[in-house]
Structure 1
Amino acid sequence: MSDVSVRVAWADDARAIAELQLRTWRADYASLLPAEALPGAEAVEPAAAAWHASLTRPRDARNRVLVALERNRVVGFAITSPASDPDCDPVADAEIVELGVDPDERTKGHGSRLLQAAVDTLVADRFTRAVHWAIATDDERRAFLTSAGWAPDSAHRELDLDGSGATTVKQVRLHTALTDTALS
């Protein structure tokens, strides 16, 4: 069996998370966005600096970053925080802001371990419900979350990625109750 785990991210993980995030974005958005809209290699350094800053000085004590590891290599990450949607209660509702697994490491259980660790973290922070925004056409992600007990809640949005309205992505929101029964 492989040496796999999930832990809270350290500041030293910033570059690995940045590289992984950009790789997952290129894979997840390739069919939705023009190539020039996707971040390239030049984005790694600024992303790593931003990750380092957020890992050393989170805006809220309940903002968490978890990493999935295979041996000592970061193969996935999850970001959790209080939910920011206007119809959510930031005391009771949490959000899994991002859940990314290296495209070459998918279907190996890293996503399931990350999701469970994120839910456990949110329960420990006393949240009672969690939400996650998924690309509307990402059937694989929605199926993964649905199989873990999440469901669409009818909320949807369209993100304007470049501010011009020319590059947009439609998303749907999924949610789950954070109770002892939701964790089994």
Structure 2
Amino acid sequence: MSTVSVREAVEADAAEIARIQRVTWRTAYQGVLSEQALAELGSPGIEARWAEAIGHPGSRIHLAVEGGFTVGFCVAGPAPREDVADAAGNVPADADRTGLIGTLLVEPRWSRRGHGGRLLAAAAAGLRELGAGRGITWAAESDAATLGFYRRAGWHPDGTVRTLDTGERRLRELRLTGALDIQLVE
């Protein structure tokens, strides 16, 4: 069996992160996201945006590695107030201690090998280091695989929903929340 690990991304990883996002979104979100949104993943600026994200203070990008291949990534950092607020705009008392899992993607051909769990556990540990007491993320209401993954990790919808305009259609997302003391069972 290949060696598996999680490490923090460096700027040189930007192209590989962009590739994983492109492949994963085109596979998993075909029919959910607009063709325009999927086409933008091939734009020349996407790698530069990922390089900028890697250097963004306060957030971390974790990479899942199997053997010599980068197979997934997770972006985590402090949750923006608008992501923590409820539908009426009320901000909870723990808003300043809430972390956000902005993106967690594993390339489909590498799925079901524990990479998602390792990425989530590493991101949760990093958020705890930043002082976060709980985490949130957003997932497409129609994405049963992602919703199931977070449910198995103990994260559940909290009743807050948002609708994003993807250019050609609307995407309804559920906010999930959960503890950051994630324990992996291998």
**TM-score (structure 1 length as normaliser):** 0.87
* Shift in alpha-carbon separation, 1:105–1:35, aligned structure 2, 3 A: same
In 1, the alpha carbon distance for the partners of 2:144 and 2:108 equals 15
* Correspondence list, 1:55-66, <5 A: 55-56=54-55, 58=56, 61-66=57-62
Of residues 142, 160, 181, the one that matches 1:155 is 160
CA RMSD between the two structures: 1.8
List 4+ stretches of structure 1 deviating above 6 A: none
Aligned to 2:179: 177
Quick one: which of 53, 72, 75 aligns to 1:79? 75
How far has the Cα of 1:83 moved from its partner? Answer: 1.0
- Alpha-carbon separation, structure 1, partners of 2:65 and 2:52: 21
Q: 1:6–1:68: 8 Å Cα contact kept in structure 2?
A: yes
Higher-RCO chain (CA-CA 8 Å, sequence separation at least 6):
2
Q: Secondary structure at the match of 1:141?
A: helix
Q: Could you tell me which residue of structure 1 aligns to residue 113 of structure 2? A: 108
Query: For the Cα contact (< 8 Å) 2:84–2:98, is it kept in 1?
Result: no
Deviations 1:10-55 (A, max 9, x none): 1110100011111111122103235454226742x31111111222
1:96 to 2:77 alignment: no
Deviations 1:90-144 (A, max 9, x none): 5201100000000111111111111111111111111001001000011111111
Q: Distance in 2 between matches of 1:169 and 1:41?
A: 17
Aligned partner (choices 124, 131, 134) of residue 136 of structure 2: 131
3-state secondary structure, aligned to 1:91: helix
Q: Which residue of 2 aligns with 1:14?
A: 14
Question: Matched residue of 1:33: which SS?
Answer: coil
Decide whether the 8 Å contact of 1:82 with 1:90 is kept in 2: no
Structure 2 runs not aligned, ≥5 long? 86-90
- Paired with 1:113 and 1:80, the residues of 2 have a C-alpha distance of 13
Deviations 1:47-95 (A, max 9, x none): 1111112223x1xx32110000112321000000211225155520110
Distance 2:68 2:47 in 1: 18
Q: Runs of 5+ in structure 1 lacking a partner?
A: none
Q: Distance in 2 between matches of 1:29 and 1:10?
A: 27
Distance 2:25 2:68 in 1: 22
Counterpart-to-counterpart distance in 2, 1:37 and 1:67: 24
> One-letter code of the match for 1:176?
G
